[in-house]
Structure 1
């Protein structure tokens, strides 16, 4: 019985505490150095263009929520750059698995 409680505690800890973004992008001197997850080509192009115009360092994480997607930026990214990236984010066309979802 004790092992069931222990396994349940581990699963709950993993679900709520482990950081699991759908997309993680790292920037260094205005260039994308690393990306992990589904990065739509058009969004990647727009973000790379923003980074070239205004070089910066930092991280961008995209989380999938029930109400949609949430963008989280590191503190060293300028607010103007954050807003520009939010403006080009494809809220309707972005999917976690990279597949388009048909709505009837």
Structure 2
């Protein structure tokens, strides 16, 4: 009986755990992988930033009720984080509550 409760808890944690809308991995001078929807203009801005700066790391974008949250790995310098935040298209990522309602 207890093993069913433990298995159910593990499944619930697995379903609710780390689910970013967009995940981008950077290697020294290029984008290594992209998982999720990445608007073309944002991808172009990312490649421009990465070509001029040498760094590795991960960017994860989470969808919250209040908007999008960008989370960077510790390897990404603060200066580069701010440049990526400035290039991020908040209009390209709309939450369900922001969709136009049909009348």
TM-score (norm 2): 0.80
Offset of residue 54 of structure 1: 1.1
The aligned counterpart of 2:93 is: 94
Asked if the contact 1:31–1:55 (Cα under 8 Å) also holds between the matched residues in 2, the reply is no
The aligned counterpart of 1:49 is: 48
Q: Which moved more, 1:87-96 or 1:61-70?
A: 87-96
Structure 1 residue runs of 5 or longer lacking an equivalent are none
Asked if the contact 1:29–1:56 (Cα under 8 Å) also holds between the matched residues in 2, the reply is yes
Structure 2 residue runs of 5 or longer lacking an equivalent are none
Q: Which runs of 4+ in 1 moved over 4 A?
A: 1-8
How many residue pairs were aligned?
100
SS in 2 for 1:47: helix
TM-score (norm 1): 0.79
* RMSD, aligned α-carbons: 2.5
The structure that is helix-richer by fraction is 2
How far does the alpha carbon of each residue in 1:28-77 deviate from its partner, in whole angstroms, 9 at most, with x for none?
11200111000110110011111111121110000111111110101011
